Amino acid sequence: MKKLTLRYKNILLHRGQSASRNRKLKHYRGWGSAARQPKVPTFHVSIWDGGEPFTAQCNVQAHACPSNLCLYENAGDTLKLLHKIKSGLWRVTPQTGGWVNRKKRGLPRIKAYFDFSTIDRLSTAAALIITSDYDRAKRISGIVPPAIDLENWGDDAFKVLYEIGFFELIGHVPGSHPALRYHDIDDGRFRLMQIMSGKNSNELGNVAEGISGLIDYLGSSHAVQDLSVEINGAVGEAMINVAKHAYPGDFRASRGFRAVGRWWVTARADRDNNTLTLVIYDQGATIPGTLPHRVWYNDIILEIKRTLGKSDASSAFMDPEFIAHSMKRGKTQTLEPGRGEGLPQMQELIDFCGTGCLRILSRSGAYIYERSHQREPSVTKYKLPMPLEGTLVEWELKLPEAA
């Protein structure tokens, strides 16, 4: 028998070690995609995409949503879900078979999905961001995402998504299936303005009309009707800034997620406490992300370092301070008179009305301004548990009661 050379012995040893390692990996519970999408016994789900509901098979465990989807009361779990939704929707393309694999024989099949039936409370802000992600996925892939087990969704989540126009925006043709349920659960306590989306400020007239409609719904006083001009003025300034600066020419979305260059806006009127809430969202460069392009950026860095004693300007802990400095009058994004003052103007209207709140979440920072008749204004700044894509502005204003 021919004696093996040392080199050939090493080759055989390497092959044996590699084979043993691969066998262990295959039997390891967390190996490969099985850890991300555990296999479960095949079950049936109901799918609605604008027509008649139909049944499909699924053998991958659904992604359960937190019961309370709110960026302030449950920020960590909500931000994690938003990231999962964004990542999951991005993987669906015509090349991957779309949302539903319609087989020639047998029931259609669907892969893992997000189970909205576990949501007990859905805030307007979280609903707006979820809708924007589904809208972006539809615009990029050209495929309309379906609603899974719609009849099992909680009343609060269903009503919020129905009223903001979630189904219409992502491409579902309105039909009797969701409409009948909506009329069964609507109690008239609040109204939501359907989401409006655009790329520039040309749509501001429609937004102003929608806000005026919500003010009429509240049945407020003549003083509030006069105030609606100021409200729409502040909203207009804020949205002009979003249209101009959220997506600069050198902006590139986070890896793997293409930007569609749009903004989304909705509003809510609550009769119980006579409040008007407006929410604006974009998936752009963020407030902290655009500041390095400003002529006064270095001045801000020096001031923050003196105040907080921080040396790393790139730290996520700086983001709340960046947002706070962008709120100061005169620190406009364009250095043009009258530009960049939408957010400070919103804050001033809270002072005028006496009670309200302005929340700004951008990248890793949060800035909250609150005021009520019972206490002095307060500002809260903090770092988010994980980054938010883009910028979210939520403005809540308590309107004067009718005489």
pLDDT in tens, 327-355: 875 444 444 433 345 788 889 889 888 89
Q: Count CB atoms within 10 A of the CB of residue 391.
A: 25
Residues 218 and 151 in one domain: no
- 365 and 245 inside one domain: yes
The reported pLDDT for the residue numbered 34 is 39
* Three-state SS at 130: helix
Asked whether residue 349 is domain-assigned, the answer is yes
Do 169 and 246 sit in the same domain of this protein? no
The number of angstroms, rounded, from the C-alpha of 123 to the middle of its chain's C-alpha atoms is: 11
Q: pLDDT class for 25, splitting at 50, 70, 90?
A: very low
Angle at 137 (CA atoms; ends 131, 142), nearest 5 degrees:
125
Q: Which of 26-40, 82-96, 116-130, 301-315 has the lowest mean pLDDT?
A: 26-40
Residue 167 lies in a domain: yes
Whole-angstrom distance between the N-terminal and C-terminal Cα of the chain? 107
The pLDDT, as a whole number, for residue 90 is: 75
Task: Please check whether residue 374 lies inside any domain of the structure.
Answer: yes
Q: CA 235, CA 323: separation in Å to the nearest integer? A: 18
Same domain membership, residue 220 and residue 204: yes
- Please state the φ and ψ torsions of residue 363, each to the nearest 5 degrees: 55, -115
pLDDT given at position 234: 87
Please check whether residue 279 is in contact with residue 265, taking contact to mean a CB–CB distance below 8 angstroms: yes
Domain co-membership, 335 together with 211: yes
Are 216 and 361 in a shared domain?
A: yes
Q: Is the pTM of this model over 0.85?
A: no
Predicted confidence at residue 365, as pLDDT, reads 96
Residue 21 belongs to some domain of the structure: no
The structure tokens listed for 123 are 């805030």
What span, in angstroms and rounded, lies between the C-alpha atoms of 358 and 169?
Answer: 27
CB within 8 Å of 9: residues ≥ 6 apart = none
Distances (CA, A) of 293 to 46, 249, 333, 348: 49, 12, 9, 27
Please, is 130 exposed, middle or buried when counting C-beta atoms within 10 Å of its C-beta (0-12, 13-18, 19+)? Answer: buried
CATH number for position 231? 3.30.565.10
Q: Percent of the chain at pLDDT above 90?
A: 36
Top-confidence residue, 85 or 14: 85
In a domain, residue 319? The reply is yes
pLDDT at 13 over 70: no
Query: Among 140, 159, 187, where does a domain finish?
Result: 187
Report the alpha-carbon distance of residue 241 to residue 244 in Å, rounded.
Answer: 5
Which of 23-27, 132-136, 233-237 comes out lowest in average pLDDT? 23-27
pLDDT at 98: 77
Number of domains in the chain: 2
For residue 229, give the H/E element and its range.
helix 222-245
Q: Over the stretch 259-311, which tens digit does the pLDDT of each residue have?
A: 888 999 999 999 899 999 999 999 998 999 888 777 777 888 888 777 776 65
pLDDT digits (tens, 9 = 90+) for 135-155: 998 898 888 888 999 999 999
233 has a pLDDT exceeding 60 = yes
The average pLDDT across 204-213 equals 89
Contacts of 230 (CB under 8 A, 6+ apart): 345, 349, 352
How confident is the model at residue 69, as a pLDDT? 98
pLDDT in tens, 358-396: 999 999 999 999 998 888 899 999 999 999 999 999 999
How far apart are alpha carbons 83 and 273 in whole angstroms?
A: 33
Instruction: Round to whole Å and give the CA distance between 262 and 243.
Output: 8
Place 244 in a pLDDT band, splitting at 50, 70 and 90.
confident
Residues 133 and 262 in one domain: no
CA torsion angle for 224, 229, 230, 235 (degrees, to 10)? 110
Residues 265 and 314 in one domain: yes
Residue 199: how many CB atoms within 10 A of its CB? 13
The lowest-confidence range among 58-62, 174-178, 205-209, 283-287 is: 174-178
pLDDT at 21: 56
Q: Quick one: 211 and 120 in the same domain?
A: no
Q: Residue 9 domain-assigned?
A: no
Mean pLDDT, range 98-116, rounded to an integer: 86
User: Domain range holding 102?
Assistant: 37-187
Instruction: Evaluate whether residue 18 is within a structural domain.
Output: no
219 shares its domain with 346: yes
Work out the angle between the directed axes of helices 124-141 and 155-163 (0-180°, nearest 10).
Answer: 60
The pLDDT assigned to 336 comes to: 42
**What residues does 275 pair with on adjacent strands?**
270, 398
| Domain end call among 160, 187, 214 | 187
Q: Are residues 175 and 222 in the same domain?
A: no
Residue 24, pLDDT above cutoff 60: no
- Note whether residue 13 is domain-resident: no
Q: Taking a C-beta distance cutoff of 8 angstroms, is the pair 77, 66 a contact?
A: yes
**Could you give the C-alpha distances from 333 to 269, 297, 309, 325, in angstroms and in order?**
31, 11, 26, 11
Highest mean pLDDT among 21-30, 97-106, 273-282, 311-320: 273-282
**Dihedral in degrees, nearest 10, Cα atoms 84, 28, 111, 148:** -60
Note whether 204 and 347 are same-domain residues.
yes
Tally of CB atoms within 10 A around 152: 13
Answer yes or no: is pLDDT of 59 > 60: yes
Looking at 140, 168, 187, which one is the last position of a domain? 187
- In Å, what is the CA distance from 168 to each residue of 138, 194, 270? 12, 9, 23
Minimum mean pLDDT among 66-70, 150-154, 173-177: which range? Answer: 173-177
The closest alpha carbon to 327, from 344, 302, 304, belongs to 344
> What's the one-letter identity of residue 293?
H
